[in-house]
């Protein structure tokens, strides 16, 4: 199971999935409030319940959950809520309960204010993606078909509201997660130049998870799924092997 971040879509995993086809089946859902799933977004607990429901529907008894950024909090929440269903975790540039919530995070979490600011920022990004020069740059980085899927996700009408709801969860719920109580195969993948989730936060998360492998990608930023898919795929196959799947 591969979970995207905030905002995002299943398309974020498009460069990683082909590298895993010989090793496992990969399920890449759009999370609550996004893409094909749509509806109202939710916090970490709501998303965790949706993941468990999806595992039930697909009749998957146990799975390795890989997650990027905000989605990492969902993966941790799933592992806490249903440890018997989770064979391992791969947390890529993931948020962490040990991470300090910034002033900007708190502003974006204010009802109405966060939605308005998110609408302005995301709307601007969606318009910029229509410019040929920008599209060419994005396509060169993430691949043609993937770039179109990413652009569509960023132009989704309810995206600002979903972002704001998840921002409130980041402030209100993240600190309630307790990964130190988990005991399972895990990998934490860190970009050493990540400016969205600090490398120090990733290091703390790796230290909280007993026996977690910490994989550092020198000079890499936050978009590891696009820039270093082979590293992410390698982390997944390593956890699969350790989990005996």
Q: What is the CATH number of the domain that holds 48?
A: 3.40.50.1820
Ramachandran bin of 186, using left for φ above 0, alpha for ψ from -120 to 50, beta for the remaining angles = beta
Per-residue pLDDT, averaged over 218-222, amounts to 97
Does 23 have pLDDT greater than 60? yes
Task: Quickly list DSSP for 107-123.
Answer: HHTSTTHHHHHHHHHHH
Query: pLDDT digit string (tens) for 73-120?
Result: 999 999 999 999 999 999 999 999 976 566 556 555 556 554 555 554
Cα 204 from Cα 55, distance rounded (Å): 29
Q: How many CA atoms lie within 13 A of 72 on its CB side?
A: 28
Give the total number of structural domains in the chain: 1
Q: How many CA atoms lie within 13 A of 235 on its CB side?
A: 29
Burial of 91 (0-12, 13-18, 19+ CB in 10 A): buried
What whole-number percentage of the chain has pLDDT above 70? 76
Q: Is 47 helix (H, G, I), strand (E, B) or coil?
A: helix
What does the mean pLDDT of the chain come to?
84
What is the band of 240 on the pLDDT scale with cuts at 50, 70, 90?
A: very high
Which of 153-167, 185-199, 222-236 is predicted least confidently?
A: 153-167
Q: 33 vs 20, 50, 76, 200, CA distance in Å?
A: 27, 11, 19, 30
Query: pLDDT digit string (tens) for 133-186?
Result: 444 444 455 554 554 555 555 455 578 888 889 988 988 899 999 999 999 999
| CA triple 170-117-9, angle to 5 deg | 60
> What pLDDT score was predicted for residue 160?
83
Burial of 130 (0-12, 13-18, 19+ CB in 10 A): exposed
Per-residue pLDDT, averaged over 48-61, amounts to 98
Per-residue pLDDT, averaged over 69-74, amounts to 97
> What pLDDT score was predicted for residue 138?
46
* Whether 25 contacts 89, CB under 8 Å: no
> What pLDDT score was predicted for residue 203?
96
> What pLDDT score was predicted for residue 227?
96
Strands (E) across the chain are located at 2-3, 63-68, 86-92, 186-191, 213-217
Does 131 have pLDDT greater than 70? no
> What pLDDT score was predicted for residue 103?
52
Does 127 have pLDDT greater than 50? no
What is the band of 7 on the pLDDT scale with cuts at 50, 70, 90?
A: confident
Per-residue pLDDT, averaged over 62-69, amounts to 98
Domain span at residue 162 reads 2-243
């Amino acid at each position: 199971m591969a979970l995207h971040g905030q905002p995002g879509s299943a398309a974020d995993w498009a460069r990683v999935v082909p590298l895993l086809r010989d090793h496992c089946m990969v399920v890449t859902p759009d999370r609550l409030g996004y893409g094909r799933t749509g509806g109202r977004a939710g916090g970490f607990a709501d998303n965790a319940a949706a993941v468990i429901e999806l595992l039930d529907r697909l009749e998957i008894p146990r799975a390795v959950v890989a997650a990027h950024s905000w989605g990492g909090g969902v993966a941790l929440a799933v592992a806490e809520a249903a440890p018997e269903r989770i064979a391992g975790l791969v947390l890529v540039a993931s948020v962490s309960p040990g991470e300090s919530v910034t002033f900007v995070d708190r502003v974006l979490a204010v009802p109405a204010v966060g939605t308005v600011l998110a609408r302005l920022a995301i709307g601007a990004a969606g318009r910029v993606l229509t410019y040929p020069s920008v599209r060419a740059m994005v396509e060169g980085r993430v691949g043609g078909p993937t770039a179109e899927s990413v652009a569509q996700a960023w132009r989704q009408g309810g995206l600002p509201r979903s972002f704001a709801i998840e921002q409130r969860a980041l402030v209100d719920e993240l600190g309630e997660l307790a990964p130190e109580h988990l005991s399972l195969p895990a990998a934490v993948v860190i970009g050493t130049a990540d400016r969205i989730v600090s490398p120090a936060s990733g290091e703390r998360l790796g230290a909280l998870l007993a026996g977690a492998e910490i994989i550092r990608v020198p000079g890499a930023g936050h978009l590891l799924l696009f820039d270093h898919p082979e590293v992410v795929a390698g982390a997944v196959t390593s956890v699969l092997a350790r989990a005996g799947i």
